[in-house]
Amino acid sequence: MPGPMKGSALPAAAAGSKETRARAALAASAIEARSRVEVIRDAIARSLRRARGARTFVAVTLVIQLLHADAEPPRRATAGSAGYDLCAYLRGRNVRCSDGSRAWDTGVPSDARFALPSGVSALIPLGFKARLPLGIEAQIRPRSGTTFKKGLQIPNAPGTIDSDFPDEWMVIVRNPTAAPIVIEHGERIAQMVLARYEALAIEAGEVGVTTERVGGFGSTGAR
C-alpha cells in the first residue's frame, strides 16, 4: 500500500487550483470586456444607421419669374462654373443713369443697343424676378471677359441681392473709360454667385485682444 502523502503536497495542489481559478476569472473578465465593447460598438453603428436613414434632404431651388418671353434666366456656362451668367434685357426699356450728381432715364433705341456714356453708371434690367431660399444671398460680380474686353465695371461688386427682394433684378454698371461702352440686348454683363450667410444676434459687451494681434490696420506688417 502506498504510504501517507507528504504534508507539502496539499498546499501545492491548493496553490495550483487557485492559480487556475485566477486565470479562468481573468479570461472570463477579458471575454466580458470584449463583449461589452462589441455591444457598445454595435449600438453606435445602429444609431448611425438610424440617423442616416432618418436624415432628409430638402430640395433648395431658385425660383425665377421671367417678365418677358425672350428674357434669359441665370445660367451656368459649364458644370464647373461657380457663377450664373446674367443677361441684359434692353428691348423696349428705359435705363436709369447717374453721374453721381444727377440721375435721369434714357430710352433704349429700337436696335436694343444702349451706349453707356463715359463716367456714367446705369441700372441695367435683366428681365426677371427671383426668389432665393432663406439664408442664401446672390452676389453680383463682374465677368472677367466683359471687364477685360470692354472695360465695363460693376462698381459695388460684389453687390448683394437679398432673399426677400421682390422686384425685377438689375445690375449696376459703370463706364470708367473715355469712350461710350455699348451694351447689347441679351449680352452677358455680369455673373451671380450664390452664397450662404449667417444672421447672428447682436449684444453689447467688451472686446479685447484674443490673439497675438494687438493693432488695427497694417498691424501684421507688409510681408
pLDDT bracket for residue 72 (50, 70, 90):
very high
Q: Is the overall model pTM greater than 0.75, yes or no? A: no
Task: Give the cell for residue 181.
Answer: 461702352
According to the model, what pLDDT value does residue 35 have? Answer: 76
**What whole-number percentage of the chain has pLDDT above 70?**
87
Average of per-residue pLDDT values in the chain = 86
Q: Which of 55-64, 134-143, 205-214 has the highest mean pLDDT?
A: 134-143
Residues 5-34: pLDDT tens digits? 555 555 555 666 777 777 777 777 777 777
pLDDT bracket for residue 38 (50, 70, 90):
confident
Identify which of 99, 101, 97 has the alpha carbon closest to the alpha carbon of residue 183: 97
According to the model, what pLDDT value does residue 153 have? Answer: 95
- Range with the lowest mean pLDDT among 30-34, 98-102, 117-121, 158-162? 30-34
> Which residue would you say has higher pLDDT here, 43 or 190?
190
According to the model, what pLDDT value does residue 156 have? Answer: 94
Question: What single string gives the DSSP state of each residue in 160-186?
Answer: EE-TT--S--EEEEE--SSS-EEEETT
**Element (H or E) spanning 61, and its range?**
none
In the block, which residue shows the cell 452664397?
195
37 has pLDDT over 70: yes
Rounded Cα gap, residues 175 and 99, in angstroms:
10
According to the model, what pLDDT value does residue 136 have? Answer: 93
Rounded Cα gap, residues 124 and 20, in angstroms:
91
Tell me the average pLDDT across 193-220: 85
Q: Which CATH number fits domain 63-196: 2.70.40.10, 3.30.499.10, 1.10.260.40, 3.10.20.30?
A: 2.70.40.10
Domain ranges of the chain: 11-52, 63-196
Identify which of 93, 91, 153 has the alpha carbon closest to the alpha carbon of residue 118: 153
According to the model, what pLDDT value does residue 115 have? Answer: 96
In the block, which residue shows the cell 451706349?
115
Tell me the average pLDDT across 98-111: 95
According to the model, what pLDDT value does residue 9 have? Answer: 56
152 has pLDDT over 80: yes
According to the model, what pLDDT value does residue 41 have? Answer: 78
3 has pLDDT over 90: no
Q: Given its phi and psi angles, is residue 127 left (phi above 0), alpha (psi -120 to 50 degrees) or beta? A: left
Residues 118-145: pLDDT tens digits? 999 999 999 999 999 999 999 999 999 9
According to the model, what pLDDT value does residue 94 have? Answer: 96
User: Is 213 in a helix, a strand, or coil?
Assistant: coil
